[in-house]
Structure 1
């Protein structure tokens, strides 16, 4: 079974060209990889922004600050 269309390897290898499977898929796979990378960064940005906003709200909660100061 050959994925590149050759039945016999008894040929001049200089004339063969690429010998790996899925030849010709480099560009589509790079595009998919870049889109995945950008999407992952976008998801992380949104999640971290939400987390930091919640932390900011907790830090600026004046009632909690007053309660913690009154304890001591």
Structure 2
């Protein structure tokens, strides 16, 4: 794999050396949105499971 640099004599002319330069902010925003969506989906699923257990009264203390 070649970076395209022949000489490091003039560092002012060296631009970015990695792919997808300039996409850091949009990718970070997308990552944050996906992370928050994961929390929402997980919380809803856990609440649904707790409601189901509460309805079935599974594992709770015996009724008086």
What band does the TM-score fall into relative to the shorter chain? 0.7 to 0.9
Indicate the RMSD between aligned Cα atoms, in angstroms.
2.5
Report how far residue 52 of structure 1 moved: 0.3
Runs of 4+ aligned residues of structure 1 deviating over 3 Å after TM superposition are none
TM-score (norm 2): 0.72
Q: Which one scores higher on RCO, CA 8 angstroms, separation ≥ 6?
A: 1
TM-score (norm 1): 0.65
- What runs of 5+ residues in structure 2 fail to find an aligned partner? none
- Partner of 2:30, secondary structure, is helix
| Aligned residue pairs, count | 57
Q: How does 1:27-46 map to 2 (within 5 A)?
A: 27-46=25-44
